[in-house]
Structure 1
Amino acid sequence: MRNWINIPRVEGRASRQAHADLPDGTFEHEIGREGFFGPAAHIHHAHAPTGWVRFEGPIRPRAFDTTKFDAVPDSAWAAEPLAGNRRCAVRFWRIEAPMDHLARNADGDELLFVHDGAGDLFCDFGHMSYTEGDYLLLPRGTMWRLVPSAPTRILMIEATDSTYKLPDKGIVGPHAIFDPAILAVPEIDAAFDDQRSETETRVAVKRVGQVSTMVFPYNPLDAVGWHGDLAPVKVNWRDIRPLMSHRYHLPPSAHTTFVGERFVVCTFVPRPIETDPGALKVPFFHSNVDYDEFIFYHRGSFFSRDNIHPGMISLHPAGFAHGPHPKAFATGQKAARKETDEVAVMIDTRDPLEVQAGAASVEWTGYVDSWRTAPAATNEAAE
């Protein structure tokens, strides 16, 4: 909160640095404002902040498993609704055959994260291929369709009534994390020319959550050229080179990939594990009290979670502490491996997320109880 009175203080037994050299027998709990950018307190507890034995009420940590979705919707706008608010809508979509129509989102920019599969995107601006791990960012109003060459599953993240931007990279400069020069844009190539036709074509337009259809006597993807500074772009998680520190566990905000209105999209990719003897080597316990945290687990072995596999989602509402599972905390601090092996997409939203029917139908209801066995505090060096 930018107007908060900042008066740093130290009381009792406390570390000299956040996330490092914790007092023996303690658990650090960060209470932070403005998504790790604002004022924060680091409280050293004798017990794990997530050591509850019961959880009552409708707002609680939740988890969902998208691998249990069986339906193959015939339209992007029929994708399974997962969660949303007035600024952000998240859906999960399976597509196995070429789209027989074009889609257009008139509510906001659409960000597609390709969980698996491969194929081609055709849009107003031309053609580009896609594969597992790609982000495809489609500006509001773009007409598009997918032609999968392999069954494809996609996490759809809509920036409702707003636009996506790249994060301000501050003193590390514009080329950190990924160089904007590597963002791919569609091309008017042979594949695009081959899809031109005089065949009647439908365009399904979503506006205020309702779908209307325009019918053209030809395929309106008929551009012969374009210029300007607005276009779809593509980047793969493999092109992301994360900020790192061997002496300090960086907050999730260091991994921001895209910024929407009142929410951010972050990408966690493999990185070296901290080697400083006193540094935390797992995500710290924290209460990010201004944001809900939605994480889609894409691939790998998830460092801070137990019983989570690719395709699952966790949702941690603002107001509740969360952090590594007990088993992950105990093993992570003594991890012998030298780097993480995980890829995940995190959506942090300033406005509360409302769980939708699609996610509720594939919920792991026991997730809230997965912290019941509180870990023993250990601040020993990694072996």
Structure 2
Amino acid sequence: MAHYAAMGSIPPKRHTQHRRPKNAGPHGGVGTGTGELYYEELMGEEGFSSDSSLLYHRHIPSTVAGVREWAVGDLSTTANHPLMARHLKPHDLFETDAIVRSTDAVTGRRLLMGNGDVRLSYAVCGTDSPWYRNAIGDECIYVERGKARVETVFGSFEVGEGDYVIIPRAVTHRWLPKRSRKDPLRLICIEANSHIAPPKRYLSKYGQFLEHAPYCERDLRQPLGPLLAEDIGEDPAQVTNVYIKHRGSGPNASGGIVGTVHTVPFHPLDVVGWDGCLYPYVFNVSDYEPITGRIHQPPPAHQVFEGWNFVICNFVPRKVDYHPLAIPVPYYHS
């Protein structure tokens, strides 16, 4: 992320003791006190050499009570050979209300295309997803239609049409769609094998958005948090399944990807506070200010995010080329 944030209860200095109030129960209370220690977790994406955040948990975050396999579905790909143009029709993948009602944003994704760097999937969702984290890379989920609540260990978001939801690698979260037969939640899911971040050319060497960038820090929505289990009316001690997508091989691997379900003896929402530069955030396409010119602006002018060997672009309403001799659209590219 481009800037530092802090939420909830954290100690004044990192890697120092942070204790719950002495009179608090086993699942309650925040702040510095003389009770039991909170458990500090360092979450980062490149070891100790890139952005990270520190999270303070009520429970030991590595505790696992059970494990089992999760069949992530068919993620294999077919070569585009002989080479030909493709017209993707993702709406045809979810044709009936019964399919939509039983589909969630994690297990119900249908792979459209992919390679070794990125996978593009589509989902129409009518039910809540399980708790989930992607251990392979960041995810960028675009809300095509509908509304949802996204709950993460960093806090929650209310999302709707036009929102990009950026979920860093290994962030535990779930999707809760606002149920609607007329306007179900429709998601375009971009799963990277790397980071997903604003283009480097939009940022200073210290990470601040530059003046020529088509959006800035003010346009990014941070999580509403911290979010604890009892805040949403759930038992902090309930046993929970967390679905994990990770790399693997063997007879059950699909496209080099496998899944595991970890059963944890507590609710995932146990983070009382966090700080750092790595966290989920939301950006809405309507806050993108398109770069225009008298003559044709190439596709990089429409870029909003980038990953390793791929970019994400917004082709939004804008003043089209206004030179008196400008070539009319469309433009052809090779």
TM over 0.5: yes
> 1:220: how far off?
1.1
Aligned to 1:66: 90
**Counterpart amino acid of residue 199 in structure 1:** Q
The alignment of Structure 1 onto Structure 2 pairs a total of residues equal to: 229
Q: Among residues 159, 163, 170, which one is paired with 2:195 in the alignment?
A: 163
> 1:188: how far off?
1.5
1:176 and 1:195 mapped to 2: Cα distance?
A: 41
Aligned to 2:176: 147
2:152 and 2:214 mapped to 1: Cα distance?
A: 28
Q: Among residues 218, 223, 239, which one is paired with 1:181 in the alignment?
A: 218
Which one is further off, 276-285 or 186-195?
186-195
Structure 2 matches for 1:299-338, cutoff 5 A?
Answer: none
Q: Among residues 98, 117, 131, which one is paired with 2:128 in the alignment?
A: 98
Check the 8 A contact 1:256/1:266 in 2, yes or no. yes
1:159 and 1:227 mapped to 2: Cα distance?
A: 24
1:170 and 1:189 mapped to 2: Cα distance?
A: 28
Distance 1:195 1:229, change over 3 A: farther
1:180 and 1:59 mapped to 2: Cα distance?
A: 41
Distance 1:196 1:188, change over 3 A: farther
Aligned to 2:232: 194
Structure 2 matches for 1:1-383, cutoff 5 A?
Answer: 58-70=82-94, 71-72=99-100, 73-74=103-104, 76-99=106-129, 101-150=130-179, 151-160=184-193, 162-167=194-199, 168-169=201-202, 173-174=210-211, 176-188=213-225, 193-197=231-235, 198-208=237-247, 209-245=257-293, 247-287=294-334
Q: Deviations over 1:16-53 (max 9, x none)?
A: xxxxxxxxxxxxxxxxxxxxxxxxxxxxxxxxxxxxxx
2:122 and 2:109 mapped to 1: Cα distance?
A: 6
Check the 8 A contact 2:105/2:128 in 1, yes or no. no
1:255 and 1:220 mapped to 2: Cα distance?
A: 37
> 1:57: how far off?
6.0
**Counterpart amino acid of residue 93 in structure 2:** F
Check the 8 A contact 1:196/1:221 in 2, yes or no. no
Q: Deviations over 1:200-232 (max 9, x none)?
A: 211000002211001122211221111000000
User: TM-score with structure 2 length normalisation?
Assistant: 0.64
1:145 and 1:58 mapped to 2: Cα distance?
A: 40
SS of 1:285 mapped into structure 2? coil
User: TM-score with structure 1 length normalisation?
Assistant: 0.56
Gap regions ≥5 residues in structure 1: 1-55, 288-383
1:190 and 1:261 mapped to 2: Cα distance?
A: 32
**Counterpart amino acid of residue 111 in structure 2:** P
Distance 1:154 1:218, change over 3 A: same
1:283 and 1:252 mapped to 2: Cα distance?
A: 12
Q: Deviations over 1:149-191 (max 9, x none)?
A: 142110100111x111211137993452111232111121679
**Counterpart amino acid of residue 67 in structure 1:** H
Check the 8 A contact 2:295/2:322 in 1, yes or no. no
SS of 1:67 mapped into structure 2? helix
Distance 1:174 1:88, change over 3 A: farther
Gap regions ≥5 residues in structure 2: 1-79, 248-256
1:107 and 1:118 mapped to 2: Cα distance?
A: 26
Q: Deviations over 1:286-314 (max 9, x none)?
A: 20xxxxxxxxxxxxxxxxxxxxxxxxxxx
Q: CA RMSD in A?
A: 2.2
Q: Deviations over 1:234-281 (max 9, x none)?
A: 001000001001x21101110111110011111111101222220123
1:156 and 1:250 mapped to 2: Cα distance?
A: 27
1:112 and 1:60 mapped to 2: Cα distance?
A: 27
Distance 1:128 1:75, change over 3 A: closer
Distance 1:120 1:191, change over 3 A: farther
Identity among equivalent positions (%) equals 32
1:263 and 1:232 mapped to 2: Cα distance?
A: 20
1:86 and 1:57 mapped to 2: Cα distance?
A: 17
